Amino acid sequence: MPDPTPKHPPVKLTKGYVDRVKPGQNDEYHWDAETKGFGLRVNPSGRMNFIVQGRIDPRKPPARITIGAYGVFTVDQARDVAREHLRSMRMGIDPREVKREDEAKAVTLRQVADAFFARPGMLKENTRDEMDRHLTTAFAKWLPRAIASITPNDCRKRYEEIATKGLRKTPAPAPGSAASAFKILRTLINFAMEEYQTQDGAPLIARNPVAIIKKELAAHESKVRTRHIDRRDVGKFWHHLTTARQNPAFSADTRCGIDLVMFLLLTGTRRNEGAMLTWDRVNLDDADPANNWFHLPDPKNKNPVWLPLSSQAVAVLKARQLAEEKTGTKSKFVFPSRSAAGHIKDTRPVGIQIRAVTCTR
C-alpha cells in the first residue's frame, strides 16, 4: 500500500487541532509529528478516524490499521493504541491477526451454533430445531460462554448431572438426553475447530473436550442399536391410545397428538415427517382402497416416496378430517396445533398424559 500523499505537514495531534479540521473533497490525512505512523483520516462527510501505519515485514508494503472514530477515542487514547500497534509491528506481529484471534477466542457457543445452523442446504429445519432444543435445555448457562473455555471437566460434570438427574424439575435419570445433548455439543466444537484458528493457523481448540466422555457416548449408541420393543406391548399401547382418545378431559391438541402417534405406529413414518404432513400430500379414495396413499417429498434419505395407507391409517386420517369439521377450523397440516409451527412438534406430552390416565385405573 503506497503511503498517502499528505496535504498537511506533520503536526502534534491535539484535541484543539482535530476540532479545527475541516473536511475536503477527498479523504485527507493528518499525521502526528510526535508518533510517526499515527494519524487522522478525514473523509468528505466529516467522519474522522484515527489510523496507524507501519511495516510488519520490510519486504512488503506498510499496513494501515483503523484504530477508531474520534469521539469514541480521544487523541491521547488513540495515540497509546497506535504506539502498541507500532511496537507489535516492529516485532513482526500483525495487530490485525491478534485481533482476529482474540475475537475467535471470545466466540460463544450460541454464536458457533448459529453459524453452524446458518450453512445453506446443510440441515433441515426440523433437525436445526431439534439440535437447538437440546442446546437450550442442556446448555442454557453455556450458550453465552466462549466455546474455547469449555473444559473436559465441565463436560464430565454436566454429563453426569443430566444422566443422573435429567433436565426436568422433577429429578429423574436421563442418560439418553445426556448422550443426545453431548453429541450435538461435540459436533459444534468440531465445527469450531475447523472455523476458528490461531495466528499460526492451528485450531483454536486443540482437542474436543467432549472426548472425555467418549466411552459413555459409545456405550449409549450400542444400547440404542440393540433396543427392541416387545410385540406384546404394542397391542397394550394401542389400547391405551384408543381409550385415551375418547377422554373428554383431553384438549384438542392432545387428541391430535394421539392421532399422530397412531399414524406413526401404523406407517413407520418418522415423527417429524408425520407431524409436518400436509393434506395436499394425502390421497383418500373411498371407491378404491388401493388408491389410498400419502407422499413424503423430502424424507431423511432425500428420496421422495409414495406410501400406501392401511384401512386403520385411513381411519385415523378421517378422524382428523372429522375433528376439523366439528371445530370449524382448517389447517394445511394433517396434525395441526396451536403452536407457532402450526403442527404437533412433540409427542412426549401425549405419553405423559396417557400414563397419568392409565395409572389411576
Assess contact for 139 and 128: CB atoms under 8 A.
no
Out of 203, 225, 247, a domain closes at: 225
The count of residues in the chain is 361
Written as one string, the DSSP assignment of 313-358 is: HHHHHHHHHHHHHHHT---SBSSB-SSTTSB----HHHHHHHHHHH
Q: pLDDT-based confidence at 160, cuts 50/70/90?
A: very high
pLDDT value at residue 2: 45
Looking at residue 93, its pLDDT comes to 84
Query: How many other CB atoms are found less than 10 A from the CB of residue 224?
Result: 11
DSSP-assigned states of every residue in 80-109: HHHHHHHHHHHTT--HHHHHHHHHHHH-BH
Domain CATH for 31: 3.30.160.390
**Burial (0-12, 13-18, 19+ Cβ within 10 Å), 50:** buried
Residue 101 located in a structural domain: no
Residues 190-208: b if buried by 16+ CB within 10 A, e if exposed:
ebbbeebeeeeeebbbeeb
User: Could you tell me the residue range of the domain that residue 21 belongs to?
Assistant: 15-93
Examine the domain organization and report whether 123 and 66 are in the same domain.
no
Neighbours of 283 (CB within 10 A): 13
- 146 and 221 fall within a common domain: yes
Which segments of 109-151 does DSSP mark as H helices, in order? 109-117, 125-138
Instruction: For residue 271, give the CATH number of its domain.
Output: 1.10.443.10
Task: Please give the Cα distance from 45 to 22 (Å, whole number).
Answer: 10
Q: Cell numbers at residue 12, please?
A: 502534534
pLDDT of 259-286, one tens digit each? 999 999 999 898 888 999 999 999 999 9
Number of domains observed in the structure of the chain? 3
Same domain? 259 vs 282: yes
Collect all residues with Cβ–Cβ distance below 8 Å to 132 and sequence separation of at least 6: 113, 117
What are the residue ranges of helices labelled H in the chain? 15-20, 75-90, 95-106, 109-117, 125-138, 152-165, 175-195, 214-225, 231-245, 252-267, 271-275, 311-327, 348-359
d(CA 128, CA 131): 5
User: Grid coordinates representing 291?
Assistant: 388408491
pLDDT of residue 125: 81
Q: Is 9 inside a domain boundary?
A: no
Say which residue, 225 or 167, is predicted with more confidence.
Answer: 167
Say if residue 287 is in the same domain as residue 175.
Answer: no
Residue 198 shares a structural domain with residue 126 = yes
Say yes or no: 179 and 294 in one domain: no
Share of the chain above pLDDT 70, in %: 91
Confidence class for position 13, pLDDT limits 50, 70, 90? very high
Q: Is the pLDDT of residue 1 over 60?
A: no
Average pLDDT of every residue of the chain: 87
HSE-up of residue 124 (Cα within 13 Å, Cβ side) = 12
Per-residue pLDDT at 199 exceeds 80: no
Confidence class for position 135, pLDDT limits 50, 70, 90: very high
Single residue among 93, 119, 139 that ends a domain in this structure: 93
Q: Report pLDDT for 306.
A: 93
Residues 218 and 286 occupy one common structural domain: no
Give the residues across from 49 on adjacent strands. Answer: 41, 69
Q: Kindly indicate the confidence band of residue 94, based on its pLDDT and cuts at 50, 70 and 90.
A: confident
pLDDT at residue 361, as a whole number: 44
Which residues are 40's β-sheet partners? 30, 50
